Amino acid sequence: MNRLESSSLFQLTSMRFRLFLREPEAVFWTFIFPILLAVGLGIAFRNRPADVLQVGATTAQLSQALAADKGLTATTMDEAAGTRALATGSILLLAIQRPEGIEYKFDDTNTDARTARLLADRAIQTAAGRREAVRAENQLVHETGARYIDFVVPGLLGMNLMGSAMWGLVFPLVEARQKKLLKRMVASPMPRWQYLASFLLSRLLLLVIEVAVFLGFAGLAFGVPFRGPLWELALLCVLTSVAFSALGLLVSSRARTMEAASGLLNLVMLPMWILSGIFFSASRFPAAIQPLVRALPLTAANDALRGNMLQGMSLGQLAAPVAILLAWAAAAFAVSLRIFRWR
Interacting residues toward another protein by CB under 8 A? 1, 5-8, 10-12, 15, 18-19, 22-23, 176, 179-181, 183-184, 186-190, 343
As a whole number of angstroms, the distance between CA 225 and CA 21 comes to 31
Number of neighbours of residue 66 by Cβ within 10 angstroms: 28
Q: In terms of CB distance, is 186 or 238 closer to another protein?
A: 186
Task: State the nearest-atom distance from the C-beta of 166 to another protein, in Å.
Answer: 20
What is the DSSP track for 227-246? -S-HHHHHHHHHHHHHHHHH
Task: State the nearest-atom distance from the C-beta of 260 to another protein, in Å.
Answer: 18
Q: Which element (helix H / strand E) includes 74?
A: strand 72-76
Single-letter residue type at 19? L
Q: In terms of CB distance, is 11 or 262 closer to another protein?
A: 11
Task: State the nearest-atom distance from the C-beta of 259 to another protein, in Å.
Answer: 18
Rg (CA), the chain: 27
Q: In terms of CB distance, is 190 or 331 closer to another protein?
A: 190
Task: State the nearest-atom distance from the C-beta of 169 to another protein, in Å.
Answer: 15
Q: Which residues have CB under 8 Å from 29's CB, separation 6+?
A: 163, 164, 167
Task: State the nearest-atom distance from the C-beta of 52 to another protein, in Å.
Answer: 52
As a whole number of angstroms, the distance between CA 343 and CA 235 comes to 34
Angle, alpha carbons 340-202-342 (nearest 5°): 20
As a whole number of angstroms, the distance between CA 48 and CA 83 comes to 27
Task: State the nearest-atom distance from the C-beta of 254 to another protein, in Å.
Answer: 18
Q: In terms of CB distance, is 172 or 248 closer to another protein?
A: 172
Helix pair 319-339, 230-252: axis angle to 10 deg: 30
As a whole number of angstroms, the distance between CA 74 and CA 127 comes to 14
As a whole number of angstroms, the distance between CA 294 and CA 153 comes to 19
Q: In terms of CB distance, is 39 or 190 closer to another protein?
A: 190
Task: State the nearest-atom distance from the C-beta of 177 to another protein, in Å.
Answer: 11
Task: State the nearest-atom distance from the C-beta of 210 to another protein, in Å.
Answer: 20
**C-alpha dist (Å) from residue 301 to 58, 60, 192, 304:** 51, 54, 29, 5
Single-letter residue type at 294? R
Q: In terms of CB distance, is 84 or 343 closer to another protein?
A: 343
Q: In terms of CB distance, is 99 or 189 closer to another protein?
A: 189
Q: In terms of CB distance, is 138 or 188 closer to another protein?
A: 188
How many CA atoms are closer than 13 Å to the CA of 59, on its beta-carbon side? 11
Task: State the nearest-atom distance from the C-beta of 146 to another protein, in Å.
Answer: 46
Q: In terms of CB distance, is 126 or 178 closer to another protein?
A: 178
Beta carbons of 96 and 105 less than 8 angstroms apart: yes
As a whole number of angstroms, the distance between CA 38 and CA 217 comes to 9
